[in-house]
A and B are shown apart, each in its own frame.
Chain A
Amino acid sequence: MPYVLVFLPGLLVIAFQVFMSGFFSEHTGTDDQSVDVIRQIAPNYTPWFDNVLEFDNELSEPLLFILQASVGIGIIALYIIKQHRKKV
């Protein structure tokens, strides 16, 4: 099996994610929606801690999620290659 093929779907995942993040950009995360509910229930509540890192660049977050997905896909691909070699 040409092992590079195992990584190909991973690359497709990343490419498609970039495309889809634009397509569904108006969808609100449920975590943001739960923050809205908190604001309804406790309008005087003020968050007492901010995120450690917040990037101004819009591309930073998608790229970091891609990094996270890539790490996972890389490990799974390496596992498949290793086990496939063992069997052959």
Chain B
Amino acid sequence: MLKKLLIVLVLLLYPVLGYGMHIAEGFLPVKWVLIWWLVYLPFLFFGVKHLKQILEECSAAKLLFAVAGAFVFVLSSLKLPSVAGSSSHLTGIALGAILFGASSMSIIGFIALLFQAILLAHGGITTLGANAFSMSVAGAFTAVWVYKGFKIMALPQWLSVFVAAFCSDLVIYICTSAQLALAFQSAQSTLLESMLKFLSVFAVTQLPLALLEGIFTVFAFRLIQKYSWSDIISINPSLK
């Protein structure tokens, strides 16, 4: 076990500290700030409600939810350089989404992004609604849907987890690009063309990182599977 843990954490060593993917403070017009907050808040509300219910029903859920949150905290704090000379970071959102359901991750995403926005000048308070939507709603729901889709096809669980995390990571960046393209559409180009401009910034950096996201998530999932599988099944019976 310790050897496996060492492998996971040594893999985490490769990244460095830093910044990455979120929309910077003040870089969304007021109209879009309000729209994304309005879109995000219902997910946060249902996330809190859903989590409250889980915590009441299962005493072990508190610790496991803390672990899912810790996973997001660790992965989103690590900057990974790419061959293109740019850098970004992972999100870790898929693990908690698969274990607890997608809406629960809106809370963890909010806390992690708020921490980074206030203390690290990364992302921002005004752009928190948009960033939280892309990371903890679009990313989390993608992870759950992809995981369920692969499960229906009776593929190995580790592969389902890997692809779910991989897709979740990519969708977060696609969503961020769409948010920026909607807010900053040039007169000479279409929405799709504007979106492709933003996507080109993220694509080169993010593809290899999405693979790493998948690997880390599989390791973490297996760790939880080993120690707390019965608890996880009682929290989320659909994982059986």
Please report A residues at the B interface, Cβ cutoff 8 Å: 1, 5-6, 9-10, 12-13, 16-18, 20-21, 23-24, 26-35, 37-38, 40-42, 45, 47-55, 61-62, 64-66, 68-69, 71-76, 79-80, 82-84, 86-87
Using CB atoms, name the residue of chain A closest to B21: A30
* In-complex Cβ contact of A72 among B73, B82, B117, B205 (8 A): B73
- Binary per-residue interface labels of chain B (78-89) against chain A in the complex, 1 for a CB within 8 Å, 0 otherwise: 110110011110
Give the CA-CA distance A52 to B26 in the complex, in Å.
11
Q: What's the dominant secondary structure at chain A's contact region? A: helix
Give the CA-CA distance A21 to B17 in the complex, in Å.
6
Also in contact, A20 and B16, with CB within 8 A (given A30-B201, A30-B202): yes
CB pair A30 B73 closer than 8 Å: no
* In-complex Cβ contact of B206 among A6, A23, A29, A30 (8 A): A30
CB pair B85 A26 closer than 8 Å: yes
* In-complex Cβ contact of B197 among A17, A28, A41, A84 (8 A): A41
Residues of A within 8 A of B6 (CB): 9
Counting chain B residues whose Cβ lies within 8 A of the other chain, the interface size class is 35 or more
CB pair B180 A52 closer than 8 Å: no
CB pair A65 B18 closer than 8 Å: yes
Residues of B within 8 A of A28 (CB): 85-87
B150 on the A face (CB < 8 A): no
Give the CA-CA distance A47 to B78 in the complex, in Å.
26
Residues of B within 8 A of A32 (CB): 19, 24
Give 23 CB contacts A-B under 8 Å: A1-B2, A9-B5, A9-B6, A12-B13, A13-B13, A17-B15, A21-B17, A23-B16, A26-B85, A27-B86, A32-B24, A38-B184, A40-B197, A41-B194, A42-B184, A42-B186, A49-B126, A53-B118, A62-B17, A66-B17, A73-B74, A79-B67, A87-B227
B38 on the A face (CB < 8 A): no
